[in-house]
Amino acid sequence: MLPNAMSTTPWLSSPRANITMHTGAAAELTQVLAQDISQRLSAAIHARGQAVLGVSGGKSPVALFHALRVLPMAWAQVRITLADERCVPCTHADSNAHLVTTHLLQDQARAAHLVPMVSQAAEQLPPLSQLVQTAGAALQAAGSTDVMVLGMGADGHTASLFPGAPNLPEMLDLHNTQVCAGVTLAQPPANAPYPRITQTLAYLLRARHIVLPINGADKLNTLRKAWQQRSNAYPVSHLLHQNHTSVSVWISS
């Protein structure tokens, strides 16, 4: 538990105008975060007739998906997009689209519309460059993201902005006009050894609000390092050292 994270880690209290911090027990914080996201999406629907929720893959957001999917709101007016995707068919067990379909598009949220990055279900996929272009076009057609839920690995990556990626500087460049980029890692994670498509940092920061849940001591330590200064060694640091977009960090054990 990190009930006193603000007092035990003084660096969290360092002023950062566009960043807010929330700490607490995991189960309670997940419920509060789900309510916060729901309220933001409902406000967007009221203002513009629809809302766009961006989400990330992996195991970390599953509990949040379960809490969010049972909340009553106008889910039929919500489009769900992805921060990144593995280059596998959209029905593949390792795809983020499959994860979202399985864990988020259920219960009340069944009415929401998923905008996949990889729409093909066939095993044979187009070249990575073509997948990147198609994914970018789909994201632009979906509209501006109202809430983007990002994650962070213990290595400091967020979306598929991995430290050591050959094109990382380009993907982190705030002047980059590309929506998406392809990522081929020399040493990909053993549990997901696929090329990837990711939103660029510049496009991620077009979201009206970004949520960054952090869970566990190892990730809190990484967050501390990323909080100190902007560094390509911790790509998430570029999210924490910018003034384009509001970010809320939700820290639990």
Closest CA relative to residue 191, chosen from 153, 134, 225: 153
pTM for the model stands at 0.94
Give the per-residue pLDDT at 191.
84
Q: Are strands 180-183 and 196-199 parallel, antiparallel or unpaired?
A: antiparallel
| Model pLDDT for residues 153-174, shown as the tens digit of each residue | 999 999 999 999 999 999 999 9
Tokens of 64: 């949040």
Contact residues for 176 (Cβ-Cβ < 8 A; gap 6+): 170, 200, 201, 202
How many angstroms from the chain centroid is the CA of residue 101? 16
Q: Where are the alpha helices (DSSP H) in 3-158?
A: 5-8, 26-48, 62-69, 96-103, 128-142
Domain ranges of the chain: 21-245
Q: What is the mean pLDDT of residues 225-241?
A: 96
Q: What is the CATH class of 21-245?
A: alpha beta
Strand partners, 81: 54
Count Cβ neighbours within 10 Å for each residue of 111-146 and write b for 16 or more, e otherwise.
ebebbbbbeeeeeeeeebeebbbbbbebbeebeebb
Q: Write out the two tokens for 123.
A: 């095993």
Residue 150 DSSP class: -
pLDDT digits (tens, 9 = 90+) for 17-60: 789 999 999 999 999 999 999 999 999 999 999 999 999 998 89
Average pLDDT value over all residues in the chain: 92
pLDDT at 64 over 50: yes
